[in-house]
Amino acid sequence: MIRRSLLAFALCLAAALSAPAIAQDVPSPPAPAAVRVLLETTAGSILVETDPRAPVTAANFLRYVDEGRYNGTDFYRGMELGAGTGVVQGGTANAPDRILPPIAHEPTSQTGLRHIDGALSMARFDPGTADGDFFIIVGNLSGFDAGRAAPGDPGFAVFGRVIEGMDVVRAILAAPKSPTEGEGFMRGQMLDPRVRIVSARRAPVP
């Protein structure tokens, strides 16, 4: 199941093709405001904050958090795209006992959010297929924003940012990787060993 999720995300990054959104069977309730979530990992703690400008995507992430669906999952991919730049990906990896129905796509052209350093965004295949996998941006990757890779490209859905712990995120990106795991250009991007997400829980907002 991890292979399917990774391959789907890779194809999206490579092709950046526009596609119609897929309706969600069970809509998530709207996120009321910025909410902080503490990700306790085996590499250290990462404090993230959702953004109410992406209410559907933020609510989906919080549902996974509140239902404990991220506890015991992994950061499993570190895609380096240049010196100090790249993507750290983690989450449910399509595990059937963890994933929820996919959500509608909230493009950056709609939310006004951007794939800048520390941005929290959703992994997906076609728009409207995102479920429980997310990634964190290291550096500035505007090519992930809607319309930047190609005209009409839907991009990926930013829904929050890292508040504390970017040193941990950068360490994960630079962590050892398997020389053989991963298909196509993903070979060499799979973390070995994985970085476990021990727990994900809401944290107080000052």
Structural domains of the chain in order of their starting residue, each with its CATH number: 2-14+33-203 (2.40.100.10)
Which residue shows structure tokens 């941990």?
A: 168
pLDDT digits (tens, 9 = 90+) for 157-189: 999 999 999 999 999 999 999 999 988 878 999
pLDDT reported for residue 6:
45
Peptide bond into 193 cis (omega under 30): yes
Task: Assess contact for 121 and 82: CB atoms under 8 A.
Answer: no
Nearest CA among 9, 115, 10 for reference residue 54: 115
Distance CA 125, CA 3 (A): 13
Nearest CA among 84, 159, 77 for reference residue 119: 159
Nearest CA among 105, 71, 75, 72 for reference residue 90: 75
Distance CA 101, CA 75 (A): 21
pLDDT reported for residue 14:
42
Please report how many Cα atoms fall inside a 13 Å half-sphere around the Cα of residue 6, on the Cβ side: 23
pLDDT reported for residue 185:
79
Which residues in the chain show pLDDT less than 70? Answer: 1-32
Task: Assess contact for 87 and 138: CB atoms under 8 A.
Answer: yes
